[in-house]
Chain A
Amino acid sequence: MSTSATTIFSPATAARFDRLVTLYPVKRSALVPMLLYAQDEVGYISDAVVAEIAQRIGITELDVRNVLSYYSMLRTKPAGKYNVQVCTNISCMLRDGYGILDHCKKRLGIGHKEVTSDGLFSLEEVECIGACCWAPAVQINYDFYDELTPEKMDQILDDYKAGRAKETV
């Protein structure tokens, strides 16, 4: 399927997907990246995303759902505009990652995989994000924040809330 008026994606993303399926020996290799990039734009993997990606790759919607359910970053419900992912795995745990998680829970008034009522933040306790030597670490969407304290965490959340945070990724 080429970029057409029927796509649910922005022209840039549609063009990117047109190219993505040509990069590999088989089209299906584009599936996992396409799902993640679609989620970045739409906010989650909606039924319409599943349908269009299935059509673009030439597989069934069931094939797409089968893959989608495997990967922990892919979600079928919207998250907050800023998805706060707190690592509590061993290296972070030893440097008070749970303290950061508890602090975020209190501060945002939500629990694991919940969204604030204004839709601005969601919170997730995640497994190791590969920032072990700079623990405790958090990812907000794709941005890393490390060597955190509750005070630093407050400052970061304040910046996001006030629209001052620059998303770099």
Chain B
Amino acid sequence: MPRLVSHPDEVKIISRRFGQGATDIDKYIELDGYEAVQKAIEKGLDWIINEMKVSGLRGRGGAGFPTGLKWSFVPKQADRPKYVLVNGDESEPATCKDHVIFLHDPHAVIEGTMIAGLAIGSKLGFIYLRGEYRYLLKIMEKAVADAYAKGFLGKNIFGSGIDFDIVTQTGAGAYEVGEESALMESLEGKRGVPRIKPPFPAVVGLYGGPTVINNAETIASVPHILLMGGEAYAKVGSERNGGTRLFGISGHVNNPGVYELPMGYNLKKAIYEVGGGVRGGHTLKAVVPGGSSTPVLLPKEIDIGLDFDQVGKAGSMLGSGGIVVIDDQTCMVEFALRTIQFYQHESCGWCIPCREGTDWLKKTIGRVHAGGGIDKDLDNIRYLAENMLGRTFCPLGDAAAMPTIGFIKKFRHEFEDHLNGKPCPYAKHEELALV
């Protein structure tokens, strides 16, 4: 069972019901549950979308697209049914925030889904969890059944005359399915390969109908925003980055965990104060700020605010909010290799630059790490990665290329230290085995 952590700098909005027994529907109701959806029904869809825009909430899956704006793209009149699709396929390495939401506050996901449905005029929502999260799917399934038993879901929700249903869905192991168009393919019972865009899902999505796809954390934030008001939520965060976020701090820190911090919170403080600093008295070597696909930062680059714009300005991305702390006992070539191994394994193979690029990157970085590299390999790695950028249907190709470029740019000396048949000067264990 994941350990709940706490730190005085946290601002508990999404996590305020964690550890309070809110998986129980009566407890959830006691803690203001299902009040936001009733408020939403009363005030109407224009009000909902306006509050969402004012809140400054940006997609918590990683892209950071403004949620209110995304919802407003769905046409009011449509020939086909509209859908809400909640992305709980959480698979980006270093990311386990949706895990704790499903575990502690499943009804917030349901309520957020209902509100998204009201906002776009949809009658059916899907909550998709990665296949590995079976125990969390069971928690979600029970929560949905309890909501139906109370009459909160189904026909005429809260006397509004509006019907809304929710179906939970399991994946079966695929990082790629976390990409929104691949997610729709998977939910339609197909291989999770991406679709070309445009058309965007807001216009042509699931089963050809207009679809809003949001990350589970985004959706779970929605009821809180409507309860406290978009303006109050926006104020908690930094400029153009409303509210709080669940940051996962993992790797070489003393107190790893999922912490809810205001957007714009200082990254250095997040590591040294919230995360308790680098473990074992070692010194910091590098930080991956937002999941494995985000370019690495050096210790001198981490005195920045954790929001989409500031991390972007520092040359990386806020991504999924999974902060990986790396100490001086780590071989960065090995770290780069493990990262590219993941993307090579998860590339769906649909787009050639990604399928071939990840494979060659894995082979080349693997040979450098094993001591068989040649001088030319280092430029080749960078050339290969740079030529994958923007050349694929979905962002997986970029997700593999961007961190690789970061590693070779900022830790080129460590790659060079492996050349000319030298054994890895940094490694503590045997060569990586995954093939």
Contacts and interface: CB of A to CB of B under 8 A. Distances in A.
Partners in one complex: yes
Interface of A: 23-26, 28-33, 35-36, 57, 66-67, 70-74, 88-91, 93-95, 98-99, 101-102, 112, 125, 127-135, 139, 142-144, 146-147, 168-169
B132 A129 contact: yes
Contacts of B130: 130
Interface stretch (B149-157, B335-343, B365-373): B335-343
26 contacts: A24-B167, A28-B189, A35-B172, A67-B189, A71-B131, A71-B171, A71-B174, A71-B192, A73-B131, A74-B172, A89-B292, A89-B342, A90-B94, A90-B338, A91-B250, A91-B322, A127-B175, A128-B91, A128-B93, A132-B94, A132-B256, A133-B2, A134-B3, A142-B134, A168-B135, A169-B135
B151 to A, nearest CB: 19
Contacts of B170: 32-33, 36
A133 B191 contact: no
B395 interface: no
B173 A71 contact: yes
A146 B135 CA distance: 15
B131 to A, nearest CB: 5
Given A26-B207, A71-B131, A142-B135, A130 B96 contact: yes
Contacts of A35: 172
Most chain B C-beta atoms within 10 Å of own C-beta, residue among A66, A72, A74? A72
B132 A73 contact: yes
Contacts, number: 164
Nearest to A32: B172
B257 interface: yes
B135 A90 contact: no
Interface string B99-143: 100000000000000000000000010000011111100100000
A139 B173 contact: no
B67 interface: no
Given A125-B434, A134-B2, A94 B324 contact: yes
